[in-house]
Chains A and B, each alone.
Chain A
Amino acid sequence: MSSHDSVHRLYQQHHSWLNTWLRCRLGNAADAADLAQDTFVRLLQRREQLELNAPRAFLRTIARGLVIDHWRREELQRAYLEALAQLPEAEVPSAETRELLLELLERIACLLDGLRPKVRTAFLLAQCEGLSHKQIAEQMGISLRSVERYVADALYHCYLLRYEP
């Protein structure tokens, strides 16, 4: 059976269940319908044969990842708007720059997913603020060696996600 056929069958049997599952998590029907659709699109893009012993658990795993991506995007936008609102008017970037930055932040947030909070913060202080490791150590109240290790760990983590997913 081709992978397309099995996706088709999964769709017929489980689409409305998945829709309901997503609606419970997202609290709104439009986003749930979008993400249900995305889940099946993801499946179609997979080249390997589908593992269909536990189809709902399988769909749920993919859908859960998409829900988190969706929330991450929403939370980023929200936090970004709040951060912008605190800037003096003269420093608010143009619409184009805002779009650009938000896209970049989304990419970075995905790569940083799963890092421990301290590792993440150390890395971001270096990356966003351009602080030296010594300054970061002072600001976070940890040793210079720890900062060096954290920043290197974070980069390695991103490397793996980026090049060896």
Chain B
Amino acid sequence: MNPSPRVVKQAIHWMLRVRENGASPQLQAQCEQWRSASHEHELAWQRVHSLQQEMNLRAVPGAGVVALQTLENSQQRLHRRQALKLLGGVVMLGSAAWVSKDIGLLDPWTSDFATATGERRSVRLPDGSLLNLNTHTAADLAFDSRQRLVRLKHGELMLTCAEHPLGPAGRPLLVQSRDALLEGFDGRFVVRQERDCTRVTVSQGKVAIHHPGPAGLQWVAAGEAFLVNAQGATPVAQQNMDPGAWADGLIVTRNMRLGDFIDEVARYRHGYLSCSDDIANLRLSGVFRLEDTDKLLHLLPQTLPVHVSYRTRWWVRLERQA
């Protein structure tokens, strides 16, 4: 037998009063009295109380602001979509157009060169050098009489220096990232803007890292990699991944941690991709094509004890195979 609407509303009233006024003993006693007056009261109270518990966002650490923002923003958009598609039914956009983890949505319009998530591009520069942009990357070009400068705003680029730069005393070929100013001389190198540093990997030729600190200049030779931040440039072991393979549309791994691999693949996808902790340390070697990352993920269960679980097309999680 369900409690009557009147009793449910009273229960809500009591619960809110207790919540608002803290543990006033007098109020607690009155509330107890109301609850024990009838079975119906007590049932309504229990239900309201457990509903309150079920919806208690403060029980999840760090939920507060994020939860509010998420619920409010998603609700607004949901209304818009409903109005557009269910009521009007006129506007038809591929759903891939809107799901985006990119906050810098304006970059494609304000940068000289930009790629969207999952997109790659190559550009022949005026001096003959080849610029490759990886997924979700934006760069500006500043070529003038003194220098040939590529500004990496975010993302990752590969620069293949022109065979014959304009004379030895010609204009330097520079790449500027948030953390570093790099000078390329010949050959090919990859610059990747990470969250708190810049990764430089040289595959042919050599690169100079110009640093304002006391260290001054740091040379990077073919086969070496450096991380650069405000403190300076630190050599790092090569990753378990071919740093420039993306320019050919591939991820090439040697004994790479699955967790790192998944983070890498996530860069090429919209939405959310993760793997559970108990499989993150599995190792993976192979050559994977980037053009269809869904297909790529479906290959993994063939070699590893994992299972790909789709909650929606934009929320994918790898778990240990049951």
**A contact set with B: CB distance below 8 Å:** 24-28, 30-31, 64, 67-68, 70-87, 89, 91, 93, 95-102, 104-105, 107-109, 111-112, 120-121, 124-125, 127-130, 132-133, 148, 151-152, 155-156, 158-159, 162-164
Chain A residues near B248: list those with CB within 8 A. none
Question: Residue B67 contacts which of A81, A101, A133 (CB distance < 8 angstroms)?
Answer: A101
Cα–Cα, bound, A89→B54 (Å): 28
Q: Identify 23 residue pairs between A and B in the complex whose beta-carbon atoms are under 8 Å apart, listed by A's number.
A: A27-B94, A28-B94, A28-B95, A72-B78, A79-B77, A81-B271, A84-B66, A97-B60, A101-B57, A101-B60, A124-B68, A127-B58, A128-B57, A129-B65, A133-B16, A148-B16, A152-B12, A158-B55, A159-B47, A159-B48, A159-B51, A162-B51, A163-B47
A-B interface pairs (CB < 8 A), number: 176
Chain B residues near A109: list those with CB within 8 A. 71, 74-75
Question: Residue A74 contacts which of B47, B68, B276, B314 (CB distance < 8 angstroms)?
Answer: B314
Chain A residues near B89: list those with CB within 8 A. 24-25
Q: How many whole Å from A11's CB to the nearest CB in chain B?
A: 23
Q: Is B219 an interface residue (CB 8 A)?
A: no
Question: Residue A82 contacts which of B58, B103, B274, B311 (CB distance < 8 angstroms)?
Answer: B103
Q: Is B73 an interface residue (CB 8 A)?
A: yes
Count, chain B residues at interface, CB 8 A: 62
Task: Say yes or no: B195 contacts A111, CB within 8 Å.
Answer: no
Q: Is B124 an interface residue (CB 8 A)?
A: no
Cα–Cα, bound, A144→B61 (Å): 29
* B99 and chain A: residue at smallest CB distance: A78
Q: How many whole Å from B62's CB to the nearest CB in chain A?
A: 5
**B contact set with A: CB distance below 8 Å:** 2, 8-9, 12-13, 15-16, 20, 47-48, 51-52, 54-58, 60-75, 77-78, 81-82, 85-86, 89, 92-95, 98-101, 103, 195-196, 271-272, 274, 276-277, 311-315, 317
Chain A residues near B67: list those with CB within 8 A. 101, 104-105, 124, 128
Q: How many whole Å from B95's CB to the nearest CB in chain A?
A: 5
Given contacts A91-B62, A109-B75, is CB(A83)–CB(B20) below 8 Å?
no
Task: Say yes or no: A81 contacts B57, CB within 8 Å.
Answer: no
Given contacts A130-B58, A155-B51, A159-B12, is CB(A76)–CB(B74) below 8 Å?
yes
Chain B residues near A98: list those with CB within 8 A. 274
The 9 closest A-B pairs by CB, nearest first: A75-B74, A79-B74, A79-B73, A128-B68, A79-B70, A83-B66, A83-B69, A80-B70, A76-B74
Cα–Cα, bound, A89→B72 (Å): 23
Cα–Cα, bound, A95→B274 (Å): 7
Cα–Cα, bound, A128→B55 (Å): 9
* A86 and chain B: residue at smallest CB distance: B103
- Which of A72, A76, A87, A97 gathers most chain B CB within 10 Å? A76
Task: Say yes or no: A101 contacts B63, CB within 8 Å.
Answer: yes
Q: How many whole Å from A43's CB to the nearest CB in chain B?
A: 20
Chain A residues near B276: list those with CB within 8 A. 95
Given contacts A75-B81, A77-B315, A82-B103, is CB(A105)–CB(B70) below 8 Å?
yes
* A25 and chain B: residue at smallest CB distance: B85
Chain B residues near A30: list those with CB within 8 A. 313
Given contacts A24-B89, A67-B86, A156-B12, is CB(A85)–CB(B78) below 8 Å?
no
Task: Say yes or no: B60 contacts A85, CB within 8 Å.
Answer: no
